[in-house]
Amino acid sequence: MATTKIHAIHVSPNRCINYAMKNKVGVKRDGIDGKISYEQNNKNGDVQYQTLSSYLNCHEGNVSKTFHKYADKFRGKFRNEAPRTKNGKEVVAWHLIQNFDKHEISPQAANEIGLKLAKEMFGNFPVVISTHTDTENIHNHIVICAWNDEGRKWNNDNTNYRKIREASDKLCDEYKISVLEETRKVNLVSYVDHEGKKRFYEPTERKNKIIQERSESGGAKNIDDYRRTIVHQNKVTKKEFDKEVIKGDIDKLIPVSFDYNDLLARLRREGYKIRAKNKGGGWLKYVSFTPPNETRATRDNKLGDGTFYTREGLEKYFDDAHFEASTKESNRMSLDEKTAAQAEHVNPKESRQAAENDVKKQALNIKGEPNTKIEVPPRIDRGR
């Protein structure tokens, strides 16, 4: 059984390509058969799973160069060349994930299926097909350049997406792999949202159940109507409450935390579930927090203004706080040293003048004794 999903890449495709082609590090799983190629590091126990890659209209070592070459050559060639993402940014590549059911197929066969799918659907586009085996499900990461060799861009509309699904199911039949029969021939259901735009959704069993529950709870006929129901508003309120709880707990622990890692450790001791790093030990793009006794996680960029409570924002806060504290300590020490230096190194002329001024003040304060003689300390001849 293979499922597919595709999304747009609107920044440099290098990161996506590197992720797809790189070997993966994970934990050793029980029951791995001889089809899976991996190496284990005896020092730390990490397991490195080999990634299989094949290429269409490009070669290993110059995949990113080919993608950039096509973008530089064909960008803007056709007036109506979009599509663009919802935020208006240009699509530079597409990332298609083809996920198989556990290990019902070998990595070699999975890569063959991915390459055949790429040839059928993206025949004249540069494509890299990488097969990963580090999870419970063998899966393909298929990265497609947005432009083909004629300068045309891929249009990921509902028709083309269904063609991808149908081609994938056909290949599964060919390789004797199970297929999701209930969704093989299901047509998309359309509806019109409150802005008058036509929308589509795939009526899977799960989605049909959701639609039914929404309809029963508030009379909603589609997803857009559901947003105006009491059930949805309650969920939104709960989500906002969870955000405030997370922000409050972070604010409470910031003053007693030394740095960002210490803050996360203290939150975990409070009962938080935190997803911050990938299997390789690198930071995830977003850190997610699940409060104690809750099941829904909230990403850090959804807290506050979307900047302060992110990893970058909090690390900057701790860095600034440490810098300010060290600056104050340095200034205090400098002031103490300056005071001590002034006490040790007194200018003789200034000292003599101060003594004479004190004597004059003393003479002016004497009343009834005009003939009192004031002893002025003799001038010390230090030589020339």
For 227-277, write each residue's pLDDT tens digit.
666 766 777 788 888 999 999 999 999 999 999 999 999 999 999 999 999
Q: pLDDT at position 219, please? A: 53
Q: pLDDT at position 141, please? A: 96
Average pLDDT over residues 330-343: 63
Tell me phi and psi for residue 377, to 5 degrees.
-55, 135
Q: Which residue has the tokens 């699940």?
A: 290
Nearest to 69 by CA among 130, 151, 124: 151
The domains located in the chain, with CATH, are: 2-185 (3.30.930.30), 319-364 (no CATH)
Reduced to 3 states (helix: H, G, I; strand: E, B; else coil), residue 76 is coil
Q: pLDDT at position 112, please? A: 95
pLDDT tens-digit series, residues 167-199 = 998 998 898 887 765 555 556 666 676 667 776
* More confident call, 216 vs 270: 270
Tell whether pTM > 0.85.
no
CA distance 1 to 383: 104
| Three-state secondary structure string covering 64-118 | HHHHHHHHHHHCCCCCCCCCECCCCCECCEEEEEEEECCCCCCHHHHHHHHHHHH
Q: What is the DSSP letter of 254?
A: G
Amino acid at position 57, single letter: N
* More confident call, 137 vs 217: 137
